[in-house]
Structure 1
Amino acid sequence: MEDIIAVDNLVKRYGDMVALDHFSLHIAPGEVFGLLGPNGSGKTTAINCMLQLLTYDKGAIRLFGEDMKPSRYDLKRRIGVVPQNVAVFEELTVRGNIDYFCALYVDDRRRRQELVEEAIAFVGLEDYTKFRPRKLSGGLLRRLNIACGIAHKPELIFFDEPTVAVDPQSRNSILEGILRLNAQGSTIVYTSHYMEEVEDICTRIMIMDAGRALATGTNDELKAMIGTGERIRVEVDACDDEALAALRALPCVLGASFDGTMLEADCGNGAHNVADVLGVLAARGVATGRIYAEPPTLNDVFLEITGKALRD
């Protein structure tokens, strides 16, 4: 099946700064694709180039199998955008805002009325249709933002950090809504700094930095790219330097530490890591309590690939 998004060797410069450095991205129809990167990595620039909101210096962008150009309004009508910053009109009610944005894509008033009602029900704003945005909580504002972006039933939807600063209930509602949109046939491009969200909903993930794609794959494929297999944590009363040295000498152990109550061992990929660690502790007479074995998280992968240095 032809890619719904095909970006090849995209270059975008701002003077001497290269924002996108031969960036390529391919997304198949029906995916929930996570686009991750530190602040300033080029995510928003890449999306704005795809939407033809920015010009670029080099490369090719095809959406729905066709060349994307600023004048391709036929393609733009098939796209929805939910920006990070809530973009609604304070002068309009909830219903008025959704109707306004839907009207940008749908001329027929009767059809638009049906779509607005469906969008209101989809995000659960039936009790707030006459409210102005200033009267809504942060979670309700986010849901209104989503309704404005998806009312015209787009085939491709870009979500840019849609759960920033919302409570857990609102976050859960938003994520469930995104999965429902995907189940109804929409392809999703999702950016977020909440790694657990990306792990939960995305079928494939790209990690980018400095305008380049560094790694792409499923959640499991990305975790297999780094050396860390699992982190083993063991409650112990005491652990001397000899026991720590014996642990660090194990081929599977990448590093070990003890904070006075908890022993931690970072291990590489292996089938018997826990047994090997416990065997060393038993041989050294270390009494053990509760044992935790945690697989690597997407956050571990992200930091391994992009580094741990602070970003602006």
Structure 2
Amino acid sequence: MPTTQLKRNATAALAPASIHATNLTKSYGDKQVLRGIDLAIPAGSVFALLGPNGAGKTTTVEILSTLIAADAGTAQLAGCDLDREADAVRKIIGVTGQFAAVDNLLNAEENLMLMADLHHLSRREGRRRAAELLARFDLTEAARKPVTTYSGGMRRKLDLAMTLVGDPRIIFLDEPTTGLDPRSRRTMWEIIRSLVADDGVTIFLTTQYLEEADRLADRIAVLDGGRLIAEGTAEELKRLIPGGHISLKFADAAALELAAAHFAATSRNDEELTLQIPSDGTVPTLRAVLDILDSAGITPEALSQHTPDLDDVFLTLTGTDKQQEISR
């Protein structure tokens, strides 16, 4: 993990909760969408909410951003009560939905000035803020071109820039990179990282791209059937899933045979001269394996450590056999 990410994790762990929710519940008729979820998201961190379609991700965002009311439960955002201080909550949050909410009849500069008017900024302050955001999102040259001529990535950047006009402290990003090409998606990731690192904002992210959550989030929660079924860092979640192993490759069959005799639960490939030893991915486990090899005078030709990725986590936790897998 990069040093900047480690520092951010440490800072987030010490920060007060920017979003705190207890027992949020929501139903539409007979369909219970949220079944009592609890959240505690530190200020200045990125929190990712994962889940299959229909799990309740967008409903959670809509409740916390005051767009709809929960049937039960309480929530505070930056200390403001969601029910009693909804106007105060709206002043400190920004929301970027699944689809770019830009006005195609206006250019980028006009879209930003419209948002400045909605935030009751003076004309002078609005222009200053618009120019600042156009520069930050590399949209200055296209500022007065019709939005209809923009690429998908440019539209998403403008959409996020519009969200930032009011200088929010908490930003909800509901699948912000849907439909973007890989280059545009990575550009958006860099922007999100800078919002946290440079501006100290809190990001609440929902996404269908598991790599996105892995790259960006300090903590990840998995929502399924209206319930949070797992939460932790990406590495903590990966350790919930069986299948991690240390792979050792040897120079000859004799070394492979000798090594296999020292490890009870292993999988071997005699043709490739490899041995797979179950591992939880932690340093102590790797050290223990190396100590055994060293004590036996065995030197592998190559060593690699394999851990389940977030795809494995997602499919296992939200699959039909998830309860059996989780209990292992």
**TM bucket normalised to smaller:** 0.7 to 0.9
For structure 2, the residue ranges without an aligned partner over 5 or more in a row are 1-14, 251-256, 294-299, 322-328
Higher deviation after alignment, 153-162 or 261-270: 261-270
Pick closer, same or farther for the CA change 1:109–1:308 going to 2, 3 Å. farther
Deviation at 1:272, TM superposition (A): 7.6
Please name the residue that 1:227 is paired with.
242
Higher deviation after alignment, 126-135 or 96-105: 96-105
Pick closer, same or farther for the CA change 1:206–1:262 going to 2, 3 Å. farther
- When normalised by structure 2's length, the TM-score is 0.77
For structure 1, the residue ranges without an aligned partner over 5 or more in a row are 236-242, 279-287
> Residues of 2 paired with 1:263 and 1:16: CA distance?
54
1:1-312 maps to which residues of 2 (within 5 A)?
1-69=15-83, 72-183=86-197, 184-230=199-245, 232=247, 251-253=264-266, 267-269=278-280, 270-271=285-286, 293-307=305-319
Cα-Cα RMSD: 3.3
Deviation at 1:168, TM superposition (A): 2.3
Pick closer, same or farther for the CA change 1:302–1:231 going to 2, 3 Å. farther
Decide whether the 8 Å contact of 2:33 with 2:225 is kept in 1: yes
> Residues of 1 paired with 2:126 and 2:168: CA distance?
14
Higher deviation after alignment, 16-25 or 214-223: 214-223
Deviation at 1:234, TM superposition (A): 7.5
> Residue by residue, what CA displacement relative to the aligned partner does 1:147-168 show, whole Å, maximum 9, x if unpaired?
1111222100111111122222
Pick closer, same or farther for the CA change 1:290–1:75 going to 2, 3 Å. same
Letter in 1 for 2:38: S
Letter in 1 for 2:307: P
> Residue by residue, what CA displacement relative to the aligned partner does 1:65-95 show, whole Å, maximum 9, x if unpaired?
1211386222211111111111111111111
Letter in 2 for 1:32: V
Decide whether the 8 Å contact of 1:231 with 1:296 is kept in 2: no
Q: Secondary structure at the match of 2:67?
A: coil
Letter in 2 for 1:267: P
Please name the residue that 2:4 is paired with.
none
Deviation at 1:227, TM superposition (A): 2.7
> Residues of 2 paired with 1:123 and 1:33: CA distance?
23
Q: Secondary structure at the match of 1:114?
A: helix
Instruction: Quote the sequence identity (%).
Output: 33
Letter in 2 for 1:200: R
Count of aligned pairs between the two proteins: 292
Letter in 1 for 2:205: Y
- When normalised by structure 1's length, the TM-score is 0.81
Q: Secondary structure at the match of 1:159?
A: strand
> Residue by residue, what CA displacement relative to the aligned partner does 1:15-72 show, whole Å, maximum 9, x if unpaired?
1111000111111111111111111111110110111211221111111112113862
> Residues of 2 paired with 1:189 and 1:8: CA distance?
16
Letter in 2 for 1:186: V
